[in-house]
Amino acid sequence: MYSAGRQFLQIPGPTNTPLPILAALAKPTIDHRGPEFGALGREVLEGVKEVFATEQPVVIYPASGTGAWEAALVNTLSPGDTVLMYQSGWFATLWRKMAEKLGLKVELLEGDWRSGVDAARIWAVLAEDKAHRIKAVCAVHNETSTGVTSDIAALRRAMDTTGHPALLMVDTISSLGSIDYRHDEWGVDVTVGGSQKGLMLPPGLSFNAVSQKARAAGKTARMPRSFWDWEDMIAANVNGFFPYTPATNMLQALKVALDMLREEGLPNVFSRHKRAAEATRAAVRHWGFETQCAVDAEHSPSLTAVRLPEGHSADALRAQILTNSNMPLGNGLGQLADRVFRIGHLGDFHDLMVTGTLSGVEMGLAACGIPHRAGGVDAAMRSLAGNNAPGGLLKGSAA
């Protein structure tokens, strides 16, 4: 049955793809061994460094973020190596499972899925590891399943105070291009990213930003790698090319995405995401619900996971909203299945899309008979008005 009006895709990725990027995807495919592609390759390989805030190489794969997870591990480690992983949510869990499948030993620090990586706990483990058996620390910057952002700079400082040589690997799949992130300044060795969230592209590209320390580790790493090999990529990238057929049209679209981010200005992009997140949380508070994130300073600017009261189904609410408003929302993952729904506010959006999304949620709450206090959209609008006003928040705003 035809559903009138455009779909409001408000999951935490893939995000809405802007028309200029769709137009770039639809351009004729060019020769990936020709001079036009070489120029394109050099431009995007250099331009993407700005998003990672790095002067180091960024390797681009025709893959999802899962592929970039694997690339980070196999380029730096050997079978049987120990990695320290912090289980902040579902995606941290999946990265851990991958490491185990690859034959690595995982030392796991379990979190509560409501707060970010605890740098003090990482410090304590590394301080005790006098033999330096731990070769890497893996953390998720923005946990997409929970709406919690971790302080990577604090984690780096904690690692540095121990003098431990472990590599630091960070997943930025749902924060890259949405939340301030600084690969070089924060001393990250491998940053993992994906195309389908803050970069506003469809799924299909993934990234590894790599430090000199990480590349040095690769010289002695014995994990099998061929498709994922950094050095083959970096050697070919010097002239803008790739060692195998790249995702040509996606790279054409990446150029446009980078141009759009540069034109808006990354600080403005980050502020826009924060403003949307604050408005969304204002609505959630007004409705009388909790967010999954329990620490104010760790609320994600790119998504909000909302906890429903006991006895109410988040999946039934999502189904109702999809049917009535043609608006998909993110489902709960792992231990949060059917307990939370996730509102994505990242990528290509503006204030009216935020309030439209929250209107659809509030209508869904009423239709499902879930107890709440009406007027959450008004609270969000007050928050947005305050955050758009000169000097910051207006008196009486609900942010």
Q: Which residues are annotated as a binding site for substrate?
A: 342
Per-residue DSSP letters for 347-398? SS--HHHHHHHHHHHHHHHHHHT----S-HHHHHHHHHHHHHSTTSSPTT--
Contacts of 48 (CB under 8 A, 6+ apart): 58, 60, 207, 254, 258
Task: Answer whether 139's CB lies under 8 Å from 117's CB.
Answer: yes
Residue with tokens 């403005």: 268
Amino acid at 186: W
Q: For 110, list phi and psi in degrees, rounded to 5.
A: -80, 130
Task: Answer whether 195's CB lies under 8 Å from 254's CB.
Answer: yes
As a whole number of angstroms, the distance between CA 246 and CA 249 comes to 9
| 116-150 per-residue burial string, b: 16 or more CB within 10 A, e: under 16 | bbbbeebbebbeebeeeebbbbbbbbbbbbbbbbb
Task: Answer whether 176's CB lies under 8 Å from 193's CB.
Answer: yes
Q: Which residues are documented as binding site?
A: 342
Integer angstrom CA distances of residue 217 from 78, 130, 150: 10, 19, 25
19 C-beta neighbours (distance < 10 Å), count: 9
Integer angstrom CA distances of residue 391 from 88, 268, 351, 378, 385: 35, 16, 18, 21, 11
Residue with tokens 């869990």: 93
